[in-house]
């Protein structure tokens, strides 16, 4: 990832050149996608969230400051939208089996490694690992985002890595 390229594309878009969106999207989409996937765990809904994040991002483009961490903003938006979806699901009295079925089926479209990680790690650990490794957020930023003490994030991360070392040993 090149932060210079992201900033350059952002400047282009803010000046009205929407050709800048494509390089911007290509540079950031995985981080946004995985921020959603860290919460939702499945690819289809994560991609939906990712699309919504970029739509909202484009809607607020004029108000986005260049010196602010735009990637962090996108990741935070993705996480919040994903959490909203989870909250709605938890409030639901009953979800149709068919809908569940379709979501479960999409999970298998993801990679085997992420499936195994899901089984080995608890929700917080999974999210922290994704945010740190894929989204390249610092533990301090993750702690702020998840409203957890920095020490807790670091401890959970180390514990997650230990679990993965043990559980993914066959991949060496």
Residues that bind other proteins (CB under 8 A): 18, 21-22, 24-26, 29-30, 33-34, 43-44, 47-48, 50-51, 54-55, 58-59, 85, 88-89, 91-96, 98-99, 102-103, 105-106, 109-111, 113-114, 117, 129-130, 133-134, 161, 164-165, 168-169, 171-172
- Least CB distance from residue 168 to other proteins, whole Å? 7
In terms of DSSP H, where are the helices of 65-138?
70-91, 97-107, 112-120, 123-129
Nearer to other proteins, 129 or 145 (CB): 129
- Least CB distance from residue 41 to other proteins, whole Å? 13
| 136: nearest Cα among 77, 71, 64 | 71
- Least CB distance from residue 42 to other proteins, whole Å? 8
- Least CB distance from residue 136 to other proteins, whole Å? 9
Nearer to other proteins, 72 or 110 (CB): 110
Tell me the two tokens of residue 57: 């991002």
d(CA 164, CA 158): 10
CA angle 8, 13, 17 (to 5 degrees): 105
Nearer to other proteins, 63 or 147 (CB): 63
Q: b/e per residue, 124-142, with b = 16+ CB within 10 A?
A: bbbbbbbbbebbebebebb
């Amino acid at each position: 990832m090149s932060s210079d390229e992201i900033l350059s594309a952002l400047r282009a878009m803010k000046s009205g050149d929407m050709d800048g969106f494509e390089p911007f999207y290509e540079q950031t989409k995985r981080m946004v996608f995985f921020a959603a996937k860290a919460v939702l765990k499945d690819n289809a809904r994560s991609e939906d969230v990712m699309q919504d994040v970029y739509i909202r991002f484009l809607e607020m483009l004029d108000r986005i400051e260049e010196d602010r961490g735009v990637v962090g903003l996108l990741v935070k938006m993705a996480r919040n939208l994903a959490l909203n979806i989870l909250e709605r699901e938890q409030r639901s009295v009953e979800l149709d089996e068919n809908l569940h079925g379709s979501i479960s089926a999409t999970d298998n479209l993801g990679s085997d490694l992420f499936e195994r990680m899901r089984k080995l790690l608890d929700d917080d650990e999974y999210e922290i690992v994704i945010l740190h490794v894929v989204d390249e957020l610092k533990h301090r930023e993750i702690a702020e985002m998840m409203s957890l003490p920095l020490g807790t994030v670091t401890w959970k991360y180390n514990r997650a890595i230990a679990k993965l070392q043990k559980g993914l040993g066959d991949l060496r």
